[in-house]
Amino acid sequence: MPEQNLSTDRAAAIAKIRTAMIEKKMTQAELADNACCHEKTVQNMIAGRQVRDQTLFDVCAVLGLDFESIRQGWSGAAVSGPMELRGDGGHAAPVYMGAYTKAAVDHYIGCYLTVRPSFSKPDTYVAYRTDIVWDPDWPSLLFEESERPDVTYQHRGRIYVPASSMFVHFVSLTKGAMRMVMVSQLDQSGHMRGLITTLNKQGAMLIPVATPIVFAKRDAIAAMEVGEIAPAHGAHRACKALIEETMRDGYARLVG
């Protein structure tokens, strides 16, 4: 479809996408990379050609645009579905994430001291900060890591809350690579405990690893609590106790 023959609604949707790209200083190649699609797909979208709803959804997520309004403008008709992608008009998370409302999960919002064993150093722990907020643009809980000793590998992603499970899932997806953390729901003591599964670089190779992990909710996190916690570190005993309790109380089990 040549761009000059676009409907007014689709042209307006494209203008919103272009404006968001300019605001974020993002090229078509960068948008394609972040939305996990081909650059040609983004070029077709900008030219007004038909693209899949999933592509529009991914692009909107990257640019912080409202998927429902963009899709409505794209099709020129009111959106009647799919509900699993729309998130009930901004009031609840999408069905595939658990369809939870902000009111049902607002106790998760806050900052957490996150502790797990080091992947490469014995009797050493890695501790960092994780912040959880509610994202109204893509209604769901959003988590973001900071103050990690390995800054390059800090993650940002979404939280999935199954209605019939005692566990929640922290999922981050980057260029097709997925990391998942499965932890117990937040308890009265302000803890979530479980397992992290990810990739760890050892030499020239990335290998799968899994280890216990704990999120401890805090009003504030002191600088001395984060980083690599070696045996001589003042926070080592507290970190060790958190991980040992996680294993002893059955929140995580490593087999083999």
214 with 242: CB under 8 angstroms? yes
Give the CATH number of the domain where residue 109 resides.
2.40.128.120
Tens of pLDDT, residues 92-132 = 888 888 989 999 999 999 999 999 999 989 999 999 999 99
- Higher per-residue pLDDT: 45 or 112: 112
How many structural domains compose the chain?
2
Residue 217 pLDDT class (50, 70, 90 cuts): very high
Which of the pair, 209 or 81, is modelled with greater confidence? 209
Looking at the structure, tell me whether residues 134 and 48 fall in a common domain. no
In the numeric block, the tokens 């959003």 are attached to 142
CA distances from 43 to 11, 23, 47, 108, 235 (A): 14, 18, 6, 39, 51
Q: Which domain holds residue 219?
A: 102-248
Question: In the structure, what pLDDT confidence band is assigned to residue 5 with cuts at 50, 70 and 90?
Answer: low
pLDDT 10s digits, 133-190: 998 878 899 999 999 988 878 888 999 999 888 999 999 887 667 889 999 999 999 9
What pLDDT sits at residue 80? 41
CA 198/CA 190 separation, integer angstroms: 24
Report if residue 32 sits inside a domain. yes
Q: How far apart are the first and last CA of the chain?
A: 57
Q: Over the Cα atoms of the chain, what is R_g? A: 21
Q: Does the pLDDT of residue 45 top 60, yes or no?
A: yes
pLDDT at residue 219, as a whole number: 94
Local confidence band at 76 (pLDDT 50, 70, 90 cut-offs):
low
Residues paired with residue 172 on neighbouring β-strands, in sequence order: 179
pLDDT of residue 79 exceeding 50: no
In three state form, how does the secondary structure of 114-174 look? EEEECCCCCCCEEEEEEEEEEECCCCEEEEEEECCCCHHHCCEEEEECCCCCCEEEEEEEE
pLDDT at 36 over 70: yes
Report cis status (omega within 30 of 0) of the bond before 231: no
Is pLDDT larger for residue 163 or for residue 2? 163
The predicted structure's pLDDT at residue 52 = 79
The verdict on 120 and 62 lying in the same domain is no
Quote the pLDDT of residue 3: 44
Q: What is the pLDDT of residues 15-32, one digit of tens each?
A: 999 998 998 888 999 888
Q: What H or E segment, with its residue span, contains residue 73?
A: helix 67-75
Please give the pLDDT value at position 91.
72
Same domain as 49, residue 124: no
Axis-axis angle for helices 8-23, 67-75 (nearest 10) = 140
Q: Is residue 85 part of a domain?
A: no
- CATH number, position 13: 1.10.260.40
| Helix 39-46, helix 53-63: angle, nearest 10 | 90
Decide if 89 is inside a domain: no
Across the chain, what does the average pLDDT equal? 86
Q: Report angle CA 18, 25, 2 to the nearest 5 degrees.
A: 25
